[in-house]
Amino acid sequence: MTILKILEFPDPKLRITASPIDTFNDELQETIDDMFETMYAAPGIGLAATQVDIHKRLLVTDISAEKNQPYVMINPEVTKNEGNINSNEGCLSIPGYQDDVARYETISIKYLDRHGVSHEEELNGLLAICVQHEIDHLNGKLFIDYLSEAKRQKIRKLIQKQEKYSTNTESAG
């Protein structure tokens, strides 16, 4: 297994719309395992393929503390939504920044699992929020797109500063 490199805002590759998956081969199984390893190592509760520069409609999530509730969702589609909730979100592609965004409280989701078997489930709570955040990634959208341009500008500067800092510490050993 391999820990994959996570793209960071404002990388334009995060804006690519992912394509549907129609082949459930060994390469896909390896990608899924690598994505779980990358997500758990980060650590994060979700990861979209887009974030690791794979532009296919695939996401993984696990909101449990014990890492024992893994979900793989391929070609996910929200078929129903209900209610609204404020969600304080972070993103592995926007390190060091959190903010509130509006999400649906409950969603019905139709998706294929890693073997290509179709499922339809109603989700709520953090899992529903996380899946909405990941589907946005597959559509080239980030949670900061719901915020003001002024806030996004601040986040660009924050990330630039973080990059400078990590470059300096690397060269200093």
Tokens linked to 166: 């990590």
Does residue 134 have an active-site annotation? yes
From 116, 163, 164, 171, select the one nearest 8 (Cα to Cα): 163
Minimum separation from the CB atom of position 93 to Ni ion (A): 5
Minimum separation from the CB atom of position 50 to ligand GNR (A): 9
What is the separation of C-alpha 77 from the centre of its chain, rounded to a whole number of angstroms?
A: 15
Separation in Å, CA 15 to CA 37, 137, 143, 147, 170: 24, 8, 12, 16, 29
Taking CB under 6 A as the criterion, the residue among 47, 74, 112, 128 binding ligand GNR is 47
> Which residue in the list 77, 121, 122, 134 is annotated as catalytic?
134
| 48 forms part of the interface with ligand GNR (CB under 6 A) | yes
Q: What x/- string results for residues 115 through 134 when contact with ligand GNR is judged by CB under 6 A?
A: --------------xx--xx
Active-site amino acid positions: 134
